[in-house]
Structure 1
Amino acid sequence: MSKEEQVISQTDRIERSIVINAPRERVWRAIADAEEFGTWFGVNLQGLRRFEPGQKARGNITHPGYEHVVFEAVIDRVEPPTLLSYLWHPYAVEQNVDYSKEEPTLVTFTLAEAPGNGTLLTVVESGFDKVPPQRREEAFRMNSRGWEAQLQNIVRHLHG
């Protein structure tokens, strides 16, 4: 891989992993059940039972200071109990901005068995190189920190 290709790959995708001391089926339910996902992710998805490919998931963010932000994603793939992915607009937090014309990023959750009846959860968000240049760096930086926090949120949810 050339140095230029390395730079592109480092700015186009965020990848975070964590081993969770819970069976894969339990972690899968926390990700694939829409209401439960909303609980740990911080979005009101009440009334939406589970994610289905092609479905739009939409609800207000519940994290203090971001209640004005609407989470909106289109479910891409659901492959129980190993993969769930969706498309969304990263760090789309400005109230008067129409993000619908932008190319979305792809968020993919994958689950694998880990030692001791644990689960390796990996989240990858890719496609940042297609985000408009004026938003790209901040969206990448904020979502990079955001995925670290979300992995801790799901652990707290599962162990709380």
Structure 2
Amino acid sequence: MNQASNTDQIERSILIKASAERVWRALSTPQEFGAWFGVKLEGEQFSPGHHARGPITIAGFEHVIFNAWIERMEAPSLLSYRWHPYAIDAEVDYSGEECTLVTFTLQPSGDGATLLTVVESGFDKVPAHRRADAFHMNSKGWEGQLRNIERYVTQ
């Protein structure tokens, strides 16, 4: 897994032994996305301009609602959405904060594999009191999520 970061963005990549079409389906289909990401997205859709939401299913985070505003979908190579990073406190209204942009890009590689890269940018606009925690937790989180999608599509 490749790692690169600065104060404003996180970038992680992984080479997955699956076709770009298979990885794309796991990213762009809400039910499949939810299966590896850990969120219940039944009845939701991913399409540009759509707000997808559902409860997180990861132990200890069941009180958190996944909220994503889908920006772009270019099958089978790009999916992006905006969200509030590490918005885990049920008592806080995050709606007044700027969102970060999460962009997944897929590049077919040799032997039918796919290079999947996720970039989350815009942390410099996260309120100062939350920025370091959001950056740190999402940095670790994307490493885990890339392993999750790899396991999901290759099982």
Return the TM-score normalized by structure 2. 0.96
The one of 12, 15, 18 aligned to 2:11:
15
- Report SS of the residue matched to 1:116: helix
Aligned twin of 2:72: 77
Task: Give the structure with higher Rg (CA).
Answer: 1
Aligned twin of 1:101: 96
Return the TM-score normalized by structure 1. 0.93
| Structure number having the greater helix percentage | 1
Which aligned pairs between 1:25-104 and structure 2 lie closer than 5 A?
25-48=21-44, 50-104=45-99
Equivalents in 1 of 2:152, 2:43: separation in Å? 20
Which structure 1 residue ranges, 4+ long, deviate > 4 Å from structure 2?
none
1:102 shift after superposition: 0.2
1:159 shift after superposition: 1.7
Aligned twin of 1:3: none
- Report SS of the residue matched to 2:67: strand
CA RMSD in angstroms comes to: 0.8
> Which deviations, in whole Å up to 9, do the C-alpha atoms of 1:20-71 show, x marking residues without a partner?
00011000000001110010000000122x4100000000000000000000
Aligned twin of 1:4: none
- Report SS of the residue matched to 2:95: helix
1:115 shift after superposition: 1.1
Amino acid aligned to 2:26: A
